[in-house]
Amino acid sequence: MKLPEHEPQDERHTTDSRVRLPRYTIAPIRQVGRRLLLALLVMVGTVAIVYGDRGGYHDNADDGVGFLDAVYYATVTLSTTGYGDIVPYSDSARLSNILLVTPLRVLFLIILVGTTLEVLTERTREQWRLARWRSALREHTVVVGFGTKGRSAVQTLCSGGQAREKERIVVVDPNPKVVESATALGYAGVIGDATRSDVLLRAEIQKARQVIVATQRDDTAVLVTLTARQLNRGAKIVTAVREEENAPLLRQSGADAVITSASAAGRLLGMSVISPNAGTVMEDLIQQGSGLDLVERPVVKAEVGRSARDTDDLVVSVLRGHRLLGYDDPEAGTLKATDRLITIVRARPAAPEE
């Protein structure tokens, strides 16, 4: 079958291949309120220092320094205006200005220009975070496409309740808004066309353990799979396609497993018509983390030498080497220590993240 020609991506999407790391920020109004509160506390502290030692200050307008004069002096001092109409003349007043008022002035200025300093250091901090992220990232999962299929795949990967699983998922999508939604959920994201090798290299695909291709078009899935396999020969690549006739082409392109979304949905629809209860069970198995789950696990020591039917779990298949045997296959025989079992188990509630 001839696939449709690959349409070029929007120029903004193809040229913008930046990496977006998840952020944990404070609301702007809360940040401004916090800084205003700190500035007010510094002002109150300065007023208290000046008013407490008001006898050591001289006012050119009159001899006494009252509370209003203390507030005025604190204001012009912290803002570094310093008109000179109120000055400290006693040793204690000058000493308190050196040891207390001057540090408060510096702190006040830092609070006021904090936003400017944050903007100036944002780029450096982001580059440092990105370098640290790249150095620590390995054996991760690259998810190409964060639509309905990609989101469901990621949710299944994280359904085990492992807090660090999110840190090992990198989403690649040409739409900046989609990547922004992924980072809001705690995943790292790369903006760009995944058919280009430089975009996948930004996702550190050469160090990835597995790749999930969940694009909207089958021709795009073929190109992404080819590029991913070229960059990483050992990664497990699972690809979703719409049309079943394109599945062989995906396998030839390097996909280890191909999921046909249209035919799978059609089979589930037909099963639900023939046997609604069977359809309900299949849907339950597909939804990870609720009801019944289909899981793969190693054979435990107590099960070695026993048949698949004698285990505590409901065994569906036995994985022996690279062969997948049915539970009733005579070749499965007795279980070996190197076998793995595909079982149906009752879903366990996810452990709370620490």
Mean pLDDT by 10 residues, the chain (354 residues): 45 52 62 76 87 82 80 81 74 80 78 65 74 86 92 81 72 92 90 92 93 92 94 93 88 90 75 80 71 82 85 86 83 86 75 46
Radius of gyration in angstroms for the set of CA atoms belonging to the chain, rounded to a whole number: 32
Residue 137: its pLDDT value, please?
Answer: 87
Q: Measure the CA–CA gap between 338 and 299, rounded to whole angstroms.
A: 7
- Token readout for 257 is 């497993």
Cα distances (angstroms) measured from residue 31 to each of 27, 58, 111: 6, 38, 11
Rounded to the nearest 10 degrees, the angle between the axes of helix 28-52 and helix 67-78 is 130
Q: Measure the CA–CA gap between 6 and 337, rounded to whole angstroms.
A: 48
Q: Is residue 212 helix, strand or coil?
A: strand
Residue 31: its pLDDT value, please?
Answer: 66
Q: Minimal CA–CA distance to 54: which of 38, 35, 44, 69?
A: 69
Residue 157: its pLDDT value, please?
Answer: 82
Contact call for residues 259 and 150 (beta carbons, < 8 A): no
- Token readout for 144 is 């190409």
- How far the first Cα of the chain sits from its last, in Å, is 50
Q: Which domains does the chain have, with CATH numbers?
A: 28-135 (1.10.287.70), 138-264 (3.40.50.720), 291-349 (3.30.70.1450)
Residue 54: its pLDDT value, please?
Answer: 83
Contact call for residues 203 and 36 (beta carbons, < 8 A): no
Residue type, 123: R
Q: Measure the CA–CA gap between 194 and 107, rounded to whole angstroms.
A: 48
Q: Measure the CA–CA gap between 354 and 351, rounded to whole angstroms.
A: 9
Q: Is residue 267 helix, strand or coil?
A: helix
Residue 348: its pLDDT value, please?
Answer: 66
- Token readout for 87 is 């000055």
Residues 6 or more apart whose CB falls under 8 angstroms from that of 268 comprise 279, 282, 283
Q: Measure the CA–CA gap between 160 and 350, rounded to whole angstroms.
A: 6
Q: Minimal CA–CA distance to 17: which of 248, 179, 199, 239?
A: 199
Q: Minimal CA–CA distance to 75: which of 110, 98, 108?
A: 108
